[in-house]
Amino acid sequence: MSAPASGGRIQPPRPGDASRVGPYRIVGRLGAGGMGTVYAGLTESGERVAVKVVHPLHAGDPEFRARFRREVRLSTRVRGPFLLPLLAADPDADAPWLATAYAPGPTLTEHLAVHGPLTGATLHAFATGTAQALEAIHLAGVVHRDVKPQNVLLTPGGPRILDFGIAHAADGTSVTRTGVLTGTPGWISPEHYLSGVTAAEGDLFGWGALVAYAATGRLPFGGGAPEAVAYRVTSGRPDLDGIPEALKEILERALAKEPAERPDAGEAAAACARLLAAESTQVLNGSTSAEASSTPTLIGELVTAQWSVPVSDDPSWPPPASARVGSSRRRTVVAVVVAAAVLGASAGGALAFHHGGGDSTGRSGTAASTAAAGDHDSGATPAGTVLAGPGADVTGPVASDPRTVPVPSDPLDGVAHPAFHRSDDETQPVPGEWSAARDADGKAERDAAVAVRETVKAMLTTKDMSFMTPTVTFNRQAQTLMVTGGPISTLTDDRKEVFRRVAEAAACVTLAQRLEEAPTSWPYGRFSVRWRDYDGQDEASILGFGKATDGCYTDEAGRRQGTEEGMATAEIPSSDKDEIRIASGTLKAVTAAWNTRLAQGYGLEPFDRDDAITLGFDPVEQMMYVWAHDGSGALSGRAQQSHFQDVVSKTACPRLLAEYNTNRQWNYTRWTVAAYEGNSAWPQLFTSGDCLPAESRH
């Protein structure tokens, strides 16, 4: 029961269709099949979801209902790149349903019919992304069993595999009826035809056929009667003519008749990633080695960076509440955040977070900033750039730069009679505060709510988590602003932790700026971050709380410090093209610089693996984290730590500052160096720094 899409096109609802399913407002249909109907749904904030509702005929079948219930349980296991996450489900409703994130884009079949086969880096990105999605499915103990073009969407952010939960658990318990051949002719493995066996190796056979079809536009085992197709699958050779030789070798292995001769999904993803890296002008980890290409985070970044397919949107979708104007939601988020900062006292400041996206000409973030900044991925400073760094002639960013809006650490300092009178109150949130909160009332509260929502969304977007749209409410008596997420029943704890950090930062900064601007009239200084586990919940769970009068960041001697929570967020793969571009070039440069330092005779110990160094970005602290996996304890001594920190700062800062001075949306000039020593699961944070001179920081 896939969610067909054609660039986001929806059909109008039909008589008898429900207007709501669970928490979602139904605005049309995306498709229908034998199992039921897939509806286009909207959350309260206007985010798009695909809602799959089971046909009444099946809903009345206890055996089917049990299988559907298991489908939901299996789907909750699977989290990973290039998949559409399950957001919510109710297998016990009169009409059982489940909702997944919606991604605009055609199926592979629809794309090929209009645009023809995939080529070059996009083809390799498709092969890599779909293999990595299957790896995530298999690691969760699930077998797909229906890998085919109709179950793959080509979205703006990469390929997405659909329906990963409806097929089969790796423990052998089938969700579909036993004794029935499942799958689609031409995409079924030889062993499934011959013996009914369904396993991960069968998914790899389907993947090989899928990539071959994407590369040629031809069915690899031809068409015609199902019996004829089955014969060619079990006895014939696939049609791989015209496929690049290196990719062809991988597909031949995947399409082997014997399951044991096929690579697993992780091997296939790594092999395709090496081909993709070879085509890229920015090679991760400084090489195209198997070690570099086998890192899941880097594979995902490669795919996102090199992915390019034409995708159009459909105006028949009602636009999200937060994106009523503009052609790109990411550009809209940036515009709102920047506008809030520029308006200053009238609308209050807001944090400026970078999202990539496009510029006013419609170019992608990567292309636009590259065109404007030159080849600064190699560390070169673009001509005409005023480099803000030690020893540079710095006049400071212009006043309208939203990154210069200060975040007051003590916004009520010196105020005799502030409207917020709970700055010294250490009382924790009490039951009833959340349920008594109400929507924004008046312009000041509405502006604050918009600033919090858009700042939260801007930060979450960099981690591909913008589906966690918050609601913002106010409790005047408690002088508290509430930021609430959910309900998303299958959300993992680490994602909730990111939501907590993002919401706390957005609320704290917004409140601190408003307290400083209007200390005698703005009554809100406390914030509470909540999570709804289900609709109608009397009191949402508390994730975090605090006061804007206590400061919003972890500072030491006036310098922002990295945290373990920030590093955990930095380890989540970025979905932002500019972050991926800068990370790629910086990681390559830091690794090369460290290898050079090792060769200079300082008596330094090398790491025990070639890909020991990696990095990521935390949008909450606006911090780049660089860390090493130090299994041999090479960084246990202070001297070696000092050398590593020196290499990181001297190599990374020119790149961060070059981007900062040419890209107004780039907000990363801070860095933290860390390491995982031995077998420890907890990082050791060594030091933090800021590439900007003190007089240029906000």
Which are the contacts of 424, defined by CB distance < 8 A and separation ≥ 6?
Answer: none
State how far the Cα of 639 lies from the Cα of 686, in Å rounded to an integer: 12
For residue 67, how far is the Cα from the chain centroid? Answer: 30
Q: Please state whether the peptide bond connecting residue 487 to the residue before it is cis, i.e. omega within 30 degrees of 0.
A: yes
Please report which residue ranges of 15-164 form alpha helices under DSSP H: 56-59, 62-77, 108-115, 120-139
Answer for the pair 22, 57: CB distance below 8 angstroms, yes or no.
no
Give the type of residue at 413. Answer: D
Concatenated DSSP letters of 303-337: HHHH--------TTSPPPTT-SSSS-HHHHHHHHH
Q: Can 377 be counted among the known catalytic residues?
A: no
Q: Do 564 and 681 meet the contact criterion of CB atoms below 8 Å apart? A: no
549 neighbors 410 (Cβ within 8 angstroms)? yes
Q: Which of 17, 92, 146, 630 is catalytic?
A: 146
Q: Which of 384, 324, 400, 326 is nearest to 359 (CA)?
A: 326
Q: Which two tokens mark 302? A: 């490669």
Indicate the residue type of 333. V
Give the tokens for residue 99.
């909702």
Dist CA 143 CA 199 (whole Å): 6
Name the nearest CA neighbour of 158 among 44, 272, 266.
272
Could you tell me the end-to-end alpha-carbon distance of the chain, in angstroms, rounded to an integer?
52
CA nearest neighbour of 563 among 485, 622, 481: 622
DSSP assignment string, 143-202: E----SGGGEEEETTEEEE---SSSEETTS-BSSPTTS--S-TTSS-HHHHHH----HHH
Whether 85 and 100 have beta carbons less than 8 Å apart is answered as yes
- Distance, CA of 407 to CA of 349 (rounded, Å): 9
Cα gap 156→605, rounded to integer Å: 43
Residues paired with 555 in a beta bridge: 560
* H-state helical runs in 354-472: 365-373, 443-461
Structure tokens at 157: 């952010």
Q: Are 119 and 74 in contact (CB under 8 A)?
A: no
Chain length of the chain: 698
Cβ(443)–Cβ(456) below 8 Å: no
CA distance 368 to 351: 23
Structure tokens at 436: 């008594």
Listed in sequence order, the DSSP H helices in 12-61 are 56-59
CA distance 305 to 503: 28
Contact 669, 361 (CB under 8 A): no
* Residues identified as active-site: 146
